[in-house]
Chains A and B, each alone.
Chain A
Amino acid sequence: MNERLSLTGGDTGDKRVQLVRLRLMIASSLTAAMVAIYFSFMTLFAFGNPVLGVILVPGLSLGILSGILVIICSFILCFALSTSRGRVPSLIQASTR
């Protein structure tokens, strides 16, 4: 969040603060999403064995499928951060218009 900012000339300190807060909010939300996804999986692993043990098709249990989905979700959330980082300055401008 302390990355060199791209705000120009007439920007005020308030805009900067807003930018920092927005970036922190995005990072915190994505972290919360990752933690929620992973610990939902781990909670089911610990307390809901029968659920993850359901065989969906021969050779594939819900556990294996959800494990692979957790891995894919981690890729998607990383991608979401990159996308959001590019859009943050425009979001700030839109909100202060």
Chain B
Amino acid sequence: MQSNVNGISIGFFFAFMALTLLITYWAAKRTNTTEQFFAADGKITAWQNGWALAGDFLSAAALLGIAGIITANGFDGMIYSIGWLVGWPVMLFLIVEPLRNVGKFTFADVVAYRLKQKPVRSAAAIGTLAIILFYLIAQMVATGSLIKLLFGIPYVWSVILVGSVMLLYVLFGGMLATTWVQVVKAILLLVAGALLAFLVLRRFDLSPLKLFTVAAEKYGTTVLQPGTRVVSGQWDAISLGLGLMFGTAAMPHVLMRIYTVKDVKAARLSIHYATGLIGIFHLFVLVIGFGAMVIVGPEIISKAGGGGNMAAPMLAEAVGGDAFFGFVCAVAFATMLAVVAGLTLSGVATLSHDVWVNVIKSGDVSKSEQLRIARASTILIAVFAVILNRSSIDDSDRRIRRNPGNLVRRTKRRVHGGTRIFDRVCGQFPIFSARHNLEAFYHRGRGLEHPDGSLQLSCSDTALAHDPNGRAWQNTPEYRRRLVVRAIEKPGHHLHASLIRGRRERVAPDP
């Protein structure tokens, strides 16, 4: 049976690879500029971006990890689902609009706006790269392990294969290919989740209450009640809540997607879609987790290894047979691979746009050079990620061979590592939120002079600061021309502006 299952999984795996590589080929012909590479030229529609955002965010942890936690711990596992979802409204309320209006490609565009570019961008880039690399390693380890399992090839070659595919997506297809890969993956994930939940509920007259009742009868009512199974203390629970909520609201690879749509309205709408899709998916996961508890049993899942991550695939095998098991395994693989591509693109944007263009070259870089640097950064990040993965797993394996108890510790470290990524991202949220929502940064009614001497807008003049597509002009000659025209056409408008090289000039209203 194992060979049949592997055959089906491998079939789905190759089908997914073929489809996504076709998408990459199609996207490569449409990716010729920096804007196209990093933001798909703002031509992604709101619903496409909503699906892509959901795809970017829902990693394998959402399907395999949370389902496993719910199976083992009951209600306690649900706090992860809720925590990851509630960050999305916060992102919508506080982050999306300023990010879309002021930024160009990255989170650092907004944080550094009107501040000294080099130190602020450097700090933001270090933070973003640290988050991305940790997250990338976790995802690549999981993807590499799955490929090793499917094909029986050494782990090192599995990781190299993952790195190569991710490189192809990002290097040639840029944001356009990555977006469509995310869309395909999100659709597969939602379909797999919906089908699995339906097959479970069919055994309980399509009633979740009946499912929960059977779970309570088999394992006691404690599985429906909160406990201390996933947190070690009361304040630990509050800390976890903070990390999950605000960490979700500031994930750099998710925020980067805000730039792929044409305006703020589309950006808001795409977050709506994403929140809806993620919320619905987490409701499926609740059913899947309790379904695995009742139909398969937490002891059997625990014995299967993987720290409980096999709950969803084993449930799929129990309710849908080998073919469905193979499909769920392939979806898990697609999920991880797509997230890896999204993370890489975000890292590339940070490395090339923030570090190279704005810190090293002080913004004095031609568009063609920007694209070359972006592509070189893609190769650099892919190679670096593969090397880090290889060395981390080699060290870990050596320690496990010396002492088998280290295997358990490694598993625990990965779980805690995942939470730490959210803790780290959580640190970005207050920086961003304060930076953009505190009035102290704006000096309303008075123009601000940028440290580099260029002209900047005041908050009350933001209508003037955007082109017809809602993009910020950001110190372009066109912006300066508009400023002068506005002062002439609307003499009643109190417009203050700082001018190049420190000279401040006030355009006073006509008497």
Contact = CB atoms under 8 A, between A and B. Distances in A.
B90 A31 contact: yes
A71 interface: yes
Interface in A2-26: 2-5, 7, 10, 12-13, 16-17, 20, 24
A34 B90 contact: yes
Contact of B75 (A4, A17, A37, A64): A64
B101 A39 contact: no
Interface stretch (B154-162, B208-216, B401-409, B410-418): B208-216
Given A35-B245, A49-B227, A61 B82 contact: no
Interface stretch (B174-182, B235-243, B357-365): B235-243
A17 B439 CA distance: 11
A58 B460 contact: no
Given A2-B465, A13-B494, A46 B86 contact: no
B216 A58 contact: yes
Contacts of B264: 3-4
B502 interface: no
Chain A interface size, as a band, is 35 or more
A12 B459 contact: no
Chain B interface size, as a band, is 35 or more
Interface string B210-236: 111111100001001111000100111
A61 B224 contact: yes
B182 to A, nearest CB: 20
A77 B78 CA distance: 21
A88 to B, nearest CB: 12
Contacts of B210: 59
In the complex, which of the residues A17, A43, A46, A67 has the most CB atoms of chain B within 10 Å of its own CB atom?
A46
Interface string B256-278: 00000001100011011001100
A57 B238 contact: no
A75 to B, nearest CB: 6
B444 interface: yes
Contacts of B494: 12-13
Interface stretch (B91-99, B115-123, B144-152): B91-99
B225 A71 contact: no
A61 B203 CA distance: 21
Contact of B234 (A28, A47, A61, A71): A47
Contacts of B459: 2, 17, 20
Main SS class of interface, A: helix
A52 B466 contact: no
Contact of B211 (A20, A59, A85): A59
B320 to A, nearest CB: 24
B437 A70 contact: no
Given A31-B90, A46-B235, A59-B212, A82 B226 contact: no
A78 B271 contact: yes
A55 B102 CA distance: 49
A3 B97 contact: yes
A18 to B, nearest CB: 10
Contacts of B275: 74-75, 78
Interface string A62-90: 01100110110011011101100100000
A52 B226 CA distance: 7
A51 B188 CA distance: 38
B82 A41 contact: yes
A94 interface: no
A60 interface: yes
B88 interface: yes
Interface of B: 75, 78-79, 81-83, 85-86, 88-90, 92-94, 97-98, 101-102, 208-216, 221, 224-227, 231, 234-238, 241, 245, 263-264, 268-269, 271-272, 275-276, 279, 282-283, 437, 444-445, 459-463, 465-466, 470, 472, 492-495
Given A4-B463, A46-B231, 20 more contacts: A4-B470, A17-B460, A27-B93, A28-B94, A31-B93, A31-B94, A38-B82, A38-B83, A38-B241, A42-B79, A46-B235, A55-B221, A60-B209, A60-B224, A61-B221, A61-B224, A67-B82, A71-B279, A74-B279, A85-B268
11 contacts: A4-B264, A20-B459, A38-B86, A38-B241, A59-B210, A60-B209, A60-B224, A67-B82, A71-B283, A74-B89, A78-B88
